[in-house]
Amino acid sequence: MKKYNRILAIGSIVTSLSIAFVSCDKSISEPQRVGYAPASVDEKAGTWKTYVLTAPTDVTVATPSATSSTDYQAELTDLKSKSASLTQAQQEAVVYWGAGAVYRWNEIARELCARYNIPPASNADGKYPVPDAANPLADPKFPFANPPYSSRALAYLSVAQYDALVAAWSYKYKFNRVAPSKVDATVRVALPTSALPAYPSEDAVVAAASAVVLKAMFPGEVPFIDAKLAEHQNSRLWAGMNVASDLSAGIDLGNQAAAKVMARAKTDGMSAANNQAVTAGMIQAAKDRGLAEVWVSQETPARPPMLPNFGAVSTWNLDRTTLVQIRPTPPPALNDANYEKDMNELKEINKSQTREQARIANYWSDGAGSYTPPGHWHRTAANAANDAKYSEVRMARTLALVGTALMDAAVGCWEAKYYYYYPRPQQFGMKTSVGLPNFPSYPSGHSTFSAAAATVLTSIFPDKAKDFQDEASEASTSRVYGLIHYRFDSNGGLDHGNKIGSYAVARAKADGSGL
Amino acid sequence: MKTNLKCLIVVSLLTPFAAKAQMPNDAIYMGKNQLCVAGMYNHTSWNQYWENTLKRENFNIGTQTTQSVMLMPAFGISKRVNVIMSLPYIWTSNSAGNLMGQHGIQDLSIWLKVKALQAGGFSLNAIVGGSVPLGNYVPNFMPMSIGMQCRTFTGRLLASYREPKTGLYLTAYGSYGWRSNSKIDQDAYQADDRVYNTDQVKVPNTYDAAVRLGVQRKGWQTEVWAERVSCLSGDNIRRNDMPYPTNKMQATSVGWYGKVQPRNIGVNARIGYVLDGLNVGQSTSYTVGLLYQINFKK
């Protein structure tokens, strides 16, 4: 009997252990975004100031056939058959894209940034091969979507979406062709509808413009992007939201607008951003100004610094003269009292980093394999605009303002980094809990990006000002906690970023939106 | 008063799975009300690893070293039912580069080992175990992290035959390991070629299989072993990227284990070497332990 009791006892221990450990399933829950009718359709957005287009008439849209025409009625019949009953996969596509065209393409772009954000490996000769745009999937893959690269890719994406949508809004209200469900109430719609005219389709405009930019920025991803483009268009048919000519006109407009935006990209100086020949002069200039020890790569073999000439790339919201004028003031001389104070802070963290410091450093690390700090702030901006139920065009405006500010921050920060050529704390024995970026220390890029984005977001969403400012401050400090920046790097970057962001805010105040 | 080989030793320290707790992997049992406490030190290092299938070195890591000290009590509820616990303190370092070493208490493991069947020298044993993270360490700063911050539950079936006269034995086992999701400090990360917008990370489940051939005599034991540990799913390390808890890690290892315990006090030692792997370091490990056995009154 005793034996049985024991077996019973053991059995129940095993069972309860199993339940305790195994009962929780492994599915992962991510925040879900669903479609909404916009708080405002922003019917005057066709007059808002664009970045690259001089006017909506820079792009052309064919006059649509009337809803009473046989052509349109045939499209309507086709739409009804496509939207009548959906497969599970079609329903999922409708819900996914229904969250927002700009929202989803921004998210896709961030994912591409993450996928391509890995520095090339050194080869047997101890050299780092440069990614080749003509052979994007070879090792190393093109591009290396580091923070400056990602800031630029996301800025052009957002500008193309915005300019294309402003033009689309202009044509929408010129032609005023209503949505198919307003023509025929028997069209089954799967998403919230609004009073916005349907021709050309804003979804198709965004999809086409985004695809053009992303294919240029990530040339190895053409099949992936084409598949997204096709699914996005189809989802509008499945959802009963657009007839085929709404979509084809939108695609056409999006392609035209994005081509103009990409023409600017081709001449913005990016092709010379990795010109390593400029560093010798930069180093000499920094030494001439009295810097006792310049930045050197801490990697083995020494890696050429990241995009040393990115500071010469064209900016969006401020001019070159201003950029140089607002460059952060010089960092402390190595070994002066201010330097010692901030170095001592790092030494203390190096010795006994707290778990909370590690957490903050990790949360904001956005290093290799991530969508970078510009991607992080695009995400914050997109979520805030989605929460506020912004229309597509207003969402695009928000992301274009934040995105151009982030790219301006990248240009300004890189210009300052290579101007000062200041050594990293790792040159003086510090370790890191987040990984060390391969470029000079002062000022902190995270700080510049974060302050610039937070300044713009604060202006757009004043109710959330404190959140954005706190986040920027924490992102900045995270680099001290991660031991890769001195406190003065972070403070210099925050100040610089605030200034850079203010030029985007000034643009926003004057873009005719009245927002 | 007879103290012989009954002291149960649990060693796995399959080094690529530094996060994994120690595992009971033999058919040796403590007698009723016997307690054996082992204190062990482990040293594991590699200077080459498999990045996906590419075997490579990394000049910015040099040699990666993981060390641990571990307390492992084993207790005989009866001579057919044993309970084993373990709790390691782990620290990591590199010989090159500037990644900060991590250190701390890792996961508490508890194992229950039951001799389900005994016929002559043959025995069939059922082993279940679980572990929970005790330390609040960072799970995804790999390869410096000391663990993966997930709960585990393992079921193992172990068959063993020991020839009574010579003490020659052959043991084989296979296990299935369930691992919970892990929580990271970030709220977005990349895995499976996509971005997950959450702090929840799916850590793959595992299986393992091993054979061990040795001699167990009064006061001593020696064996050679081969082991295969593998994740059942997961992604690969991207080109020139760091490993991640979502990776499909696999390793085939061989090694030797020996123990001498003439009286209450004994010592044991283990060495292991990874022959082949995927998304893991090609590590060499050694463990030395001090054993102390106490008999409680019945």
For the stretch A353-370, pLDDT in tens is 999 999 999 999 999 999
Task: Mark yes or no for CB contact A300/B96 under 8 Å.
Answer: yes
Per-domain residue ranges of chain A: 45-66+76-266, 272-509
Please report residues of B whose CB lies closer than 8 A to that of A146.
none
The SS3 assignment for B94 reads strand
pLDDT tens digits along B200-226: 999 999 999 999 999 999 889 999 999
Q: Which amino acid, residue A189?
A: V
Distance from CA of B222 to the nearest CA of A (A): 31
Please report residues of B whose CB lies closer than 8 A to that of A299.
59-60, 97
A17 pLDDT band, cuts 50/70/90, is: low
Distance between CA atoms of B243 and B49, rounded to whole angstroms? 10
Task: Mark yes or no for CB contact A20/B100 under 8 Å.
Answer: no
Query: To probe the interface with A, which of B57, B197, B202, B203 has the most A CB atoms within 10 Å?
Result: B197
Task: Mark yes or no for CB contact B185/A368 under 8 Å.
Answer: no
Task: Mark yes or no for CB contact B130/A28 under 8 Å.
Answer: no
Task: Mark yes or no for CB contact B138/A358 under 8 Å.
Answer: yes
Token representation of residue B14: 């399959």
Q: Which of B253, B247, B294 is nearest to B275 (CA)?
A: B253
Task: Mark yes or no for CB contact A433/B181 under 8 Å.
Answer: no
Q: Which of A215, A156, A145, A174 is nearest to A43 (CA)?
A: A174
Please report residues of A whose CB lies closer than 8 A to that of B198.
28-31
Distance from CA of A113 to the nearest CA of B (A): 10
Token representation of residue A36: 């909404």
Which residue of chain A comes nearest to B116, CA vs CA?
Answer: A7
Please report residues of B whose CB lies closer than 8 A to that of A368.
241-242
Task: Mark yes or no for CB contact A426/B188 under 8 Å.
Answer: no
Q: What is the mean pLDDT of residues A141-150?
A: 98
Range of the domain at B19: 15-295
Which residue of chain A comes nearest to B83, CA vs CA?
Answer: A10
pLDDT exceeds cutoff 60 at B17: no
Q: Give the pLDDT confidence score for residue B5 in this predicted structure.
A: 31
Distance between CA atoms of A110 and A74, rounded to whole angstroms? 39
**Structural domain contains residue B25:** yes
Task: Find out whether A409 and A469 touch, Cβ atoms under 8 Å.
Answer: no
DSSP β-ladder status, B206-217 and B220-231: antiparallel
pLDDT tens digits along A224-251: 999 999 999 999 999 999 999 999 999 9
Task: Mark yes or no for CB contact B239/A121 under 8 Å.
Answer: yes
Look at chain A and count its residues.
515
Please report residues of A whose CB lies closer than 8 A to that of B190.
111, 114-115, 369-370
Task: Mark yes or no for CB contact A118/B60 under 8 Å.
Answer: no
Q: For residue A432, what is the DSSP state? A: B
B9 pLDDT band, cuts 50/70/90, is: very low
Q: Give the pLDDT confidence score for residue B27 in this predicted structure.
A: 84
Look at chain B and count its residues.
298
**Structural domain contains residue B3:** no
Q: Give the pLDDT confidence score for residue A25 in this predicted structure.
A: 74
Closest Cβ–Cβ partner in B178, B194, B242 for A21: B178
Query: To probe the interface with B, which of A3, A297, A431 has the most B CB atoms within 10 Å?
Result: A431
Q: What is the mean pLDDT of residues A28-42?
A: 93
Q: Give the pLDDT confidence score for residue B297 in this predicted structure.
A: 65
Count chain A–chain B contacts defined by CB atoms under 8 A. Answer: 123
Distance from CA of A71 to the nearest CA of B (A): 41
Q: Give the pLDDT confidence score for residue B15 in this predicted structure.
A: 32
pLDDT tens digits along B90-149: 999 999 999 999 999 999 999 999 999 999 999 999 999 999 999 999 999 999 999 999
Please report residues of A whose CB lies closer than 8 A to that of B185.
358-359, 362-363
Please report residues of B whose CB lies closer than 8 A to that of A302.
none
If you average pLDDT over every residue of chain A, what do you get? 95
Task: Find out whether B250 and B229 touch, Cβ atoms under 8 Å.
Answer: yes
Please report residues of A whose CB lies closer than 8 A to that of B193.
115
Task: Mark yes or no for CB contact A120/B60 under 8 Å.
Answer: no
Q: Give the pLDDT confidence score for residue B19 in this predicted structure.
A: 26
Distance from CA of A471 to the nearest CA of B (A): 14
| CATH class of the region A272-509 | mainly alpha
Secondary structure E strands in A452-514: none
Q: Give the pLDDT confidence score for residue B296 in this predicted structure.
A: 81
Q: Which residues lie below 8 Å from residue B13, measured CB to CB, with a gap of 6+? A: B22, B42, B44, B68, B270, B272, B285, B287
CATH number of the domain at B279, please. Answer: 2.40.160.40
The SS3 assignment for B1 reads coil
CA torsion A443-A264-A512-A402 (nearest 10°) is -30
Q: Which of A382, A376, A379, A378 is nearest to A394 (CA)?
A: A382
Distance from CA of A396 to the nearest CA of B (A): 21
Task: Mark yes or no for CB contact A118/B238 under 8 Å.
Answer: yes
Please report residues of A whose CB lies closer than 8 A to that of B138.
358, 362, 433
B25 pLDDT band, cuts 50/70/90, is: confident
Task: Mark yes or no for CB contact A111/B239 under 8 Å.
Answer: no
Token representation of residue A105: 């393409």
Q: What is the mean pLDDT of residues B153-174?
A: 96
User: For domain A45-66+76-266, which architecture applies?
Assistant: Orthogonal Bundle (1.10)
Q: Give the pLDDT confidence score for residue B108 in this predicted structure.
A: 97
Q: Which of A433, A449, A428 is nearest to A500 (CA)?
A: A449
Q: Give the pLDDT confidence score for residue B28 in this predicted structure.
A: 86
Half-sphere exposure of residue B293: CA atoms within 13 angstroms, side-chain side: 26
What is the tally of structural domains in chain B?
Answer: 1
Task: Mark yes or no for CB contact A435/B180 under 8 Å.
Answer: no
If you average pLDDT over every residue of chain B, what do you get? 90
Q: What is the pTM of this model?
A: 0.93
Q: Give the least confident one: A72-81, A264-273, A484-493, B74-83.
A: B74-83
Distance between CA atoms of A353 and B136, rounded to whole angstroms? 13
The SS3 assignment for B75 reads strand
Which residue of chain B comes nearest to A364, CA vs CA?
Answer: B186
Task: Find out whether A200 and A61 touch, Cβ atoms under 8 Å.
Answer: yes
CA torsion A322-A323-A328-A334 (nearest 10°) is -130
Closest Cβ–Cβ partner in B60, B185, B193 for A362: B185
Q: What is the mean pLDDT of residues A150-177?
A: 98
Instruction: Please state whether the peptide bond connecting residue A301 to the residue before it is cis, i.e. omega within 30 degrees of 0.
Output: yes
- The whole-angstrom distance between residue A507's C-alpha and the CA centroid of its chain comes to 20
Q: Give the pLDDT confidence score for residue B22 in this predicted structure.
A: 29
Interface predicted TM-score of the whole assembly (ipTM), two decimals: 0.92
Distance from CA of A457 to the nearest CA of B (A): 20
Please report residues of A whose CB lies closer than 8 A to that of B180.
21, 24, 26
Distance from CA of A370 to the nearest CA of B (A): 6
